């Protein structure tokens, strides 16, 4: 007789998929269709009630024009977040931001 897997009671970590989807002006139906799941399944993932696989995260990030890590760690609705500035910056401005950040960190370490 096969052993039954015991359900874990460990809560799922929060994600920011819904916030990224809304920031990009996409519906659950659009994102769900793109990644190949139902809108209900996506809703459960967004609410932290359903697990997801790496492939799903990568597909969602591709569609939402971000990276998988951002879907897990960055709330794009937080305007004061430095990442909001980064998202709006051109490639040249991003290089300036990196140089300025390096100066600040180097200066701080030298103090």
Whole-model pTM over 0.85: no
Of the two residues 84 and 37, the one the predictor is more confident about is 37
Q: In 10 A of CB 81, how many CB atoms?
A: 13
Would you identify the CATH topology of the domain 10-75? 434 Repressor (Amino-terminal Domain) (1.10.260)
pLDDT at 10 (0 to 100) = 66
Nearest Cα neighbor of 96 from 105, 86, 109, 82 is 86
Write down the domain spans for the chain: 10-75, 78-111
Q: Which two tokens stand for residue 90?
A: 């051109």
User: Residues of the chain with pLDDT > 90: what percent?
Assistant: 63
In this structure, the chain runs to a length of 111
Confidence class for position 4, pLDDT limits 50, 70, 90: low
28-35 helix and 39-46 helix, angle to the nearest 10 degrees:
100
Q: Is 63 helix (H, G, I), strand (E, B) or coil?
A: helix
Let me know how many helices (H) and strands (E) the chain has, helices first.
Answer: 7, 0
């Amino acid at each position: 007789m096969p052993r039954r897997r015991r359900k874990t009671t460990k809560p799922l970590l929060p994600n920011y998929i819904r916030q990224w989807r809304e920031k990009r002006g996409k519906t659950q139906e659009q994102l769900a269709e793109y990644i190949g799941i139902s809108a209900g399944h996506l809703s459960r993932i967004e609410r932290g009630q359903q697990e997801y696989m790496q492939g799903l995260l990568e597909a969602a990030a591709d569609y939402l024009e971000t990276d998988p890590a951002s879907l897990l760690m960055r709330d794009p609705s937080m305007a004061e977040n430095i990442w909001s500035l980064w998202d709006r910056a051109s490639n040249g401005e991003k290089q300036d931001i990196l140089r300025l950040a390096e100066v600040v960190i180097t200066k701080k370490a030298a103090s």
